[in-house]
Amino acid sequence: MKGLKKFGAIICAIAMIVSSITYYPTSNVSAATALPKNVIGLVANSKSGSDTIENAIMFAWAGADDPANVAGYDPTVTSTVIYIYKDGKQVTKIGNATKGGVVGGLSAGSYTAKAANVNSMGEGELSETVSFTVTGATLNYTYPVNCIGPKTPAGLSYITGNPEVPADNPAQADNKLGVAWAASSNASIPSADSSVVGYNLYLFDAKTGTPYRRVYVDGITKSNVILESVSAGEYLAYLSAVDAEGRESALAATSFGQSSKVTVKGQVIDNAQSFDKPNQPNLPLGLSILTEGIDYGFTIAWSDVADLTGQRLNLFVDGVCIKVGINGKVASYYENRLATGTYEVEVRSQYTSNNVESFGLKKTVSIKADPGLSGKTPEELADPAYSKYEEPTTNPTTTAENETTPVVETTPSVETTPSVETTPSVETTPEIETTTAATETTTVATAETTTPVAVETTTPAVVETTSAVKTTKPQESNTNAQTTTKKQPSQTTEKSSVKVGKAVVKKAIKKKNAKKISLTLKSVKGATKYKVQIAKDKKFKKTIVTKTTKKLTYSVSNSKFIKAKKLYARAKAIVVKGGETYQGKWSKPKQVEIKK
């Protein structure tokens, strides 16, 4: 834990980088009566002095919230969107773009970009086109078509291999990779965004451009993570912010002045993971397998009390699981049941909701049997409680398009406004929530992200339909002919070959005058996560909160709970298989017990 306390130096460095970008709060915006003014002075920088960040670009422009920007000052502006094109085709749309934000995850090549301000009336006209070149590897990765979620995080930096971080820091150890960033909860920075619920960290093999691993980090206040069991090699790391609906920001790259690659030392481990696979849990910090000074058997230890909520720590010997659910509240576990011999010992963490496992920490040990016990083989000690994750053998059949409800974004159109691209969100369900945002009016069906399998980056096949409208945006060509509505197949449906069990809210408790409700859910077989709602009525017409969680014991907070005399909770199970998402039925309403 000593090393963890030394994060201060690197976090301060990150804060200095982020604070160097001029920031003007935009919370008190004026009411809009017309579309916003154009973005002024858009630039795309691939270098800062002698510094170049591979596979990334930094956007900047004159702030609409800066009175000194006379031509572009517009207090009604609530956000800015950036359209990025390659070979004349749109690569992505970045909503809630941050001025001075470094966007990573782009393959090497030549690009163009345009930007537009947004207010309550919709998007303004597109700016002048800027051109830029991205250097680095050709990434084997399809960038998300719509990054219309939270603001892109800032201040991404490597802890591993950073000379400012002490050598005894856990992130500097073999086969570990540590990164830090500016938390989205920090209201004083441009990338602050209260809608964030967590982050996705993407790792690429820097030499081949192939995906290595994707890791979900839960919590808006998180500002660093140390990954265990990373194969020796050279990596590129990118970070996105995720909101409660599962929408993802653009990928942030390391800051200018920081290395764009990180080298991990240690053993070469064959444990690459496609981004299409479910996210995996992390192993406890400082995990180790010890035999020194131990007479019989061996000990599993870690740095401190491990929070294994929603996870179980499992022990394997020669590939056989001999212990399911090691107690994380005690910082060690002693195993002395084996016969004398040499064994390959492995520790993995596993999600209780879907049995997805982490990559294991392995060590070959030679031990003596405890003379007070009858030593056994790993097969004799096999724990019957172990359940292995099973990948879907076939992709579930998605129901016909007319049986699903795609989510559609629309932007008010005027003759001088660039055309609109109407795109369904990544996940849709029959349970529809309507959110009026600054960037677009979106009928949002709840997508999830609080579990590491939540956010998928695959781009579904596109079916195009056209209707005659005068338009010029967002395609680069300014042809006033038709607007193209692109509909992607819905990835979420309840009508399928996959049956999802019905969830049950076992307990719902709140203290009088408190804003937090504690929930306990019944586990549903195969469930990846659970959607939870709190309302003032049994029919849930007055829903206060909708959240998603991977945990069976979960707390929901909202100031509206404090004075409420009656509250009700319900939940539904969600299963993700083969890139498709399926939701069960809502549970029966459970009245929240209010205790004095």
Answer yes or no: is pLDDT of 388 > 70: yes
506-521 pLDDT tens trace: 999 998 888 889 999 9
Q: Where are the beta strands (DSSP E) in 165-271?
A: 177-182, 196-205, 211-218, 224-227, 233-243, 262-264
DSSP 8-state secondary structure symbol assigned to residue 376: B
Query: Residue 98 and residue 158: Cα distance in Å, rounded?
Result: 21
The predicted model gives 310-319 an average pLDDT of 94
Question: Alpha-carbon distance 102 to 237, whole Å?
Answer: 13
Predicted pLDDT of residue 589? 93
Coil, strand or helix: which one is 420? coil
Lowest-pLDDT choice from 336-340, 565-569, 578-582 = 578-582
Residue 134, amino acid? V
Q: Which two tokens stand for residue 580?
A: 């498709």
Closest CA to 596 of 496, 530, 509: 509
pLDDT for 404 beyond 50: no
474 preceded by cis ω (within 30°)? yes
Domain residue ranges of the chain, discontinuous segments joined by + = 288-367, 505-595
* pLDDT at residue 13 in the model: 45
**Which element (helix H / strand E) includes 444?**
strand 441-445
| Confidence class for position 393, pLDDT limits 50, 70, 90 | low
Rounded CA-CA distance 177/279 in Å is 17
Mean pLDDT confidence for 389-412: 46
pLDDT of residue 392: 64
Average pLDDT of span 305-330:
90
Asked whether residue 47 carries a pLDDT value surpassing 90, the answer given is no
CB 550 within 8 A of CB 508: no
pLDDT at position 310 is 86
Q: Give me the mean pLDDT over the 426-430 stretch.
A: 37
Cβ-contact 320, 382 below 8 angstroms: yes
- pLDDT at res. 579: 65
**At residue 417, does pLDDT exceed 60?**
no
Residue 382, burial from CB neighbour count under 10 angstroms (0-12, 13-18, 19+): middle
Predicted confidence (pLDDT) at residue 18 exceeds the cutoff of 60: no
Nearest in space to 190 (alpha carbons), one of 155, 219, 216, 223: 155
> How far from 141 is each of 145, 151, 211, CA to CA, in Å?
12, 21, 7
Percent of the chain with pLDDT over 70: 77
CA distances from residue 540 to 295, 429, 537 in whole angstroms, order as listed: 61, 17, 5
Residue 454 has pLDDT above 70, yes or no: no
Q: Give first-to-last CA distance, the chain, whole Å.
A: 39
pLDDT greater at residue 395 or residue 151: 151
Indicate the pLDDT class of residue 44, thresholds 50, 70 and 90: very high
pLDDT score, position 294 = 93
The residues with which 43 forms a beta bridge, in sequence order, are 60
3 state SS of 19: helix
pLDDT at 273: 79
Tokens encoding 40: 């002024």
Question: How far apart are the C-alpha atoms of 464 and 467, rounded to whole Å?
Answer: 10
Helix, strand and coil content of the chain, in percent to the nearest 5, comes to 5, 40, 60
Q: Does the pLDDT at position 527 exceed 50?
A: yes
Q: Name the pLDDT band for 395 (thresholds 50, 70, 90).
A: very low
Mean pLDDT throughout 263-274?
Answer: 86
CA dihedral 248, 251, 252, 253 (to 10 degrees): 160
Owner of token pair 């209260």: 194
Q: What is residue 451's predicted lDDT score, i.e. its pLDDT?
A: 36
Q: Between 260 and 228, whose confidence is greater?
A: 260
pLDDT of residue 328: 83
* Least confident piece of the model among 76-90, 368-382, 539-553: 539-553
Say if residue 108's pLDDT is above 90: yes
Which residue in 549, 582, 557, 349 sits closest to 449, CA to CA? 549
User: Average of pLDDT values for 455-461?
Assistant: 36
For residue 330, give the nearest of 310, 304, 298 by alpha carbon.
304
The predicted structure's pLDDT at residue 547:
87
Is the fold of 288-367 the same as that of 505-595?
yes
Average pLDDT estimate for 45-72: 89
For residue 199, give the amino acid letter.
Y
Tokens representing residue 518 in the block: 């504690």
HEC per residue, 481-517: CEEEEEECCCCECCCCCCCCCCCCEEEEEEECCCCEE
DSSP state of 461: -
Q: What angle do CA 460, 251, 360 make, to 5 degrees?
A: 85
Residue 441 to residue 353: CA distance in whole angstroms: 34
pLDDT surpassing 90 at residue 339: yes
Average pLDDT over residues 296-325: 91
Cα–Cα distance for residue pair 303/312, rounded to 1 Å: 17
Question: Please, is 251 exposed, middle or buried when counting C-beta atoms within 10 Å of its C-beta (0-12, 13-18, 19+)?
Answer: buried
Query: If DSSP codes are grouped into helix, strand and coil, which group holds residue 343?
Result: strand
103-117, 385-399, 531-545, 577-591: least confidently modelled range: 385-399
Average pLDDT score, the chain: 79
**What are the structure tokens assigned to 342, written together?**
């040499």
Class of the CATH-defined domain 505-595: mainly beta
pTM above 0.85, yes or no: no
What topology is assigned to 288-367 in CATH?
Immunoglobulin-like (2.60.40)
**Is the confidence at residue 91, as pLDDT, over 50?**
yes
Backbone angles phi, psi at 561, to 5 degrees: -75, -25
For residue range 477-504, what is the model confidence (pLDDT) as tens digits? 443 333 333 333 333 344 446 889 899 9
CA distances from residue 593 to 215, 446, 511, 516, 589 in whole angstroms, order as listed: 36, 27, 8, 12, 12
Using 50, 70 and 90 to split pLDDT, how confident is the model at 474? low
Q: For 53-62, 74-83, 474-483, which range has the lowest pLDDT when averaged over its residues?
A: 474-483
Nearest-angstrom CA–CA distance, 382 and 323: 7
Res 112: pLDDT: 97
Answer yes or no: is pLDDT of 425 > 80.
Answer: no
The pLDDT of residue 24: 40
